[in-house]
Amino acid sequence: MKTIDLNCDFGERFGVYRLGQEEILSYVTSVNIACGFHAGDPLVMRETVQLAIRHGVAIGAHPGFPDLLGFGRRMMAVSPEEVYAYVVYQIGALSAFVKAEGGVMTHVKPHGALYNMAATDAALAKAVAKAVRDVDPGLVLYGLAGSELIRAGQAHGLRTASEAFADRTYQADGALTPRNCREAVIVDEEEAIRQVLMIVRERRVRSVQGTEVAIDADTICVHGDNEQAVRFARRLHAALQNEGIAVRPISPIDKAAGGT
């Protein structure tokens, strides 16, 4: 039986500003929780960890650049040493909340510009992978399928999860279409579901140039920061099950909800 993990970036709030709906946790199997740099604050992080444990989903850290104003989506001129420190710092912050609530953190997925830069910059990818390994070599590193980040994680002895996106378009070289391009985001839910089914069943995706690109994904990202997110996650989950595809976390739920 084919299996796939559905992951969602969550806890991307700060103070009185709120994004994301709890209901989406009924349809995803893993969450990546903002750690305070691009979004999230101590109260939000604690509350989000509690929600994740309550819903029995695998918990991951979602470290980004220190850029609240830009939501971590702006590229920054940073050294590998800075990236290493940013990632260690944020994993440590979330890990404390997870342990305090009696849970276990299972994975790390970089956010936004950090994710995109580490996908193509081998030195930054190495810094991220080294940070994850040095904090906890048992953590799974999520990264764009076929990216430098996946290669760096494997080189550092980490278990990796190659990621594809439900609502993002792809270029002929397998890269995501930059967000500043008009066709970067798929707004039609049926089209997004068809893309996911093609990725999971056939291990390929159609690029905006019309070519088919090989892609081997372990996890699919479902964005949770728009009004239709819950409906789409519900429809995608049902579509996968209807095709005989099991929706499961990379790390077992019983580990994510239990002790060490």
pLDDT in tens, 13-23: 776 565 557 88
- HSE-CB at 22 with a 13 A cutoff on CA atoms is 11
Tokens of 120: 């193509």
Percent pLDDT > 90 in the chain is 85
The CATH topology of domain 3-257 is: TIM Barrel (3.20.20)
pLDDT, residue 12, reads 81
C-alpha dist (Å) from residue 31 to 85, 176, 204, 210, 220: 23, 21, 25, 32, 11
pLDDT, residue 20, reads 56
pLDDT, residue 225, reads 64
Q: Is the pTM of this model over 0.85?
A: yes
CB atoms within 10 A of CB 93: 17
Tens of pLDDT, residues 228-255? 889 999 999 999 999 999 999 997 654 4
Tens of pLDDT, residues 121-151? 999 999 999 999 999 999 999 999 999 999 9
**pLDDT, averaged across the chain:** 92
Mean pLDDT of 173-182: 89
C-alpha dist (Å) from residue 50 to 25, 46, 57, 171, 236: 12, 6, 11, 38, 25
pLDDT, residue 257, reads 43
Mean pLDDT of 173-192: 91
Q: Which H or E element spans position 120? A: helix 112-120
Evaluate if residue 154 carries a pLDDT over 60.
yes
pLDDT, residue 255, reads 44
* Domain limits, the chain: 3-257
